[in-house]
Structure formats: structure tokens, C-alpha cells
Amino acid sequence: MRALIPYERDLTPLRRSVARCVRLRTTEPGGLYTVGAEEEAKAKAEEEAKAKAKAEEEAKAKAEAEVAAELERLEAEAAIALAVTAKEKVEAEAIAMALEEAACEAAALEAAEKEEAAKAAAAAKEAAADADEPPDDLICPITQELMNDPVIAADGHTYERVAIERWLKMNTTSPKSGDELEMTAIFPNHLVRRMIREWQETYRS
């Protein structure tokens, strides 16, 4: 018995190693032991975790890319909207300027028409005044009125008969020029009488 004790003591490390190996083994359905199954499971789990992390990273990258694309699309739409707004603003300003120019032209045309109308009215008024007033050749130099019985004196001018006769009773000079008359005789002026009649028929009929 005593001779076996050293031998049993020598087997202790071996037993410990065998026990350790047994702990590291797993039993498969076939009853066989597979060494390192835990390591493989752990490696598989790590690979699955890595694959999952990679898939998540890819999904995140894809989502970020979609967000970036959407932002680019929105920015492009905003730029187009701004460009359209700027174009519309320019067109609106051009239209406003054209309307303002048209209004100025219309105002200028209206002012010109008013000026022409005023000129025409003034001309018509002047013509009416001229029509109301007989020509100077039909006005007696003494009475400054339209003559009824025009006569010619020795100075060659035409006067109203009554007015020149009254003048010659007190003067021997021309009432028109102040020169001395050679004679005091007077003669009817038939031409002026006809002109007076025609003017009266035209403007006072």
C-alpha cells in the first residue's frame, strides 16, 4: 500500500489536465466530442455581431445618403424657386416700368392735347373777336366806329360823312395826317360802302 502512494501522487497533475480538457469539450448529437466549440461559437457570435454592426452601418450610411440626397433635392428646388422668384421680380419691375412710361406718355399726350385745345380755343376766340370787330379800313378815323356813309376827303382818306363835315367846318387840315387840305370837298366812296355792306351781311346777318 505504501508503495502505491507515490504513484497516486504522480497522477494528480494528469488528472487535473484531463479534467480541464473535459471541461473544454462539448458533446454533439452524435456523441462525439468537439474541441474548441465554445471558441467557434464565440467567433461565430463575433462574426454575427460584426455583420450586424456592418449592416447597421450600411443602413445608417444609406439613410444618411438618402437624407443628403433629399437635402440636395430641397436645396435645388429652393434655388429654382429663388431663380423663378427673381425672374418674376425682374419681369414685374419691367412691367411696372413699362406701365410708368406708358402713363408718362399718356400724361404728356393729354397735356399736349389740352395745350392744342387751349390754342384752338384761343384762336377761335380771337377769330370770333376779329369777326365782331370790323377791319380798320371800314372804321372812321374820327369816330373810331363802323362807317355808314363813307366819303373820301382831299387827303385821300375815307371818313364818315357826318364826322368829316363837322371837322371841316372848324378845320382846314387833314384829321388823319394834320396836313393842310387843298380843298374841303368830299366824295362818296362806293368801294368802301360795298365792303361795309358785305361785312355786315357776313358777320351780322
**pLDDT tens digits for range 106-120:** 888 788 777 877 776
Residue with cell 374820327: 142
Q: What pLDDT score does 51 carry? A: 85
Give the model confidence (pLDDT) of 84-100 as tens digits. 888 888 888 888 888 88
Percent of the chain with pLDDT over 70: 76
Q: Map out the domains of the chain as residue ranges.
A: 35-132, 135-203
Q: What pLDDT score does 157 carry? A: 92
Helix (H, G, I), strand (E, B) or coil at 144: coil
Q: Measure the CA–CA gap between 152 and 141, rounded to whole angstroms.
A: 12
With cut-offs at 50, 70 and 90, classify the pLDDT of residue 29.
Answer: very low
- Mean pLDDT for all residues in the chain: 79
What class, spelled out in words, does domain 135-203 have in CATH?
alpha beta
With cut-offs at 50, 70 and 90, classify the pLDDT of residue 30.
Answer: very low
Q: What pLDDT score does 125 carry? A: 63
Q: What pLDDT score does 99 carry? A: 82
Q: What pLDDT score does 145 carry? A: 92
Give the model confidence (pLDDT) of 157-182 as tens digits. 999 999 999 999 999 899 988 889 88
CB 129 within 8 A of CB 151: no
List of residues 6+ apart from 187 with CB closer than 8 A: 151, 152
Q: What pLDDT score does 7 carry? A: 46
Give the model confidence (pLDDT) of 127-157 as tens digits. 655 556 889 889 999 999 999 999 999 899 9
Helix (H, G, I), strand (E, B) or coil at 151: strand
**pLDDT of 123 over the 60 cut:** yes
**Per DSSP, what are the bridge partners of residue 2?**
none
With cut-offs at 50, 70 and 90, classify the pLDDT of residue 191.
Answer: very high
